[in-house]
Amino acid sequence: MPKPQNPTYDLAELQRLVRENHYVVTSKAVSGAASLSFDSDDIRDCVLGLRLDDLHKTMEAENVPGLWQDVYRPLYGGVRLYVKLQLSRHGKAVVIQFKRR
């Protein structure tokens, strides 16, 4: 299987924003995490632990044409996840989805 393209957003920059508490988590991501018995700390820790090797794809946002999202598939807490991230137009990291892959 070919390696996915490069991410739209600099992962280190997204992680810096999360570390500095400049991020938001959508209600969809919170619900997905809760369904796996994960909480907001788990979402934060998972994003901070992402590696470029976890990148699955980058895709255009469905609801906002021209805005892109990076999809990662990390293993966290023994669960293979689907984590979708983007950088908002206001300069915040956004966790769009957080669910079981």
| pLDDT value of residue 89 | 85
Q: Where are the domains of the chain?
A: 11-100
**Tokens 């976890």 belong to which residue?**
54
Residues β-bridged to residue 86: 94
| Alpha-carbon span 60 to 96, nearest angstrom | 13
**Tokens 């892959």 belong to which residue?**
101
| pLDDT value of residue 3 | 54
Please indicate, yes or no, whether the overall pTM of this predicted structure exceeds 0.85: yes
Residues 69-89 have a mean pLDDT of 96
Q: Which fold has domain 11-100?
A: YaeB-like fold (3.30.2310)
| pLDDT value of residue 4 | 54
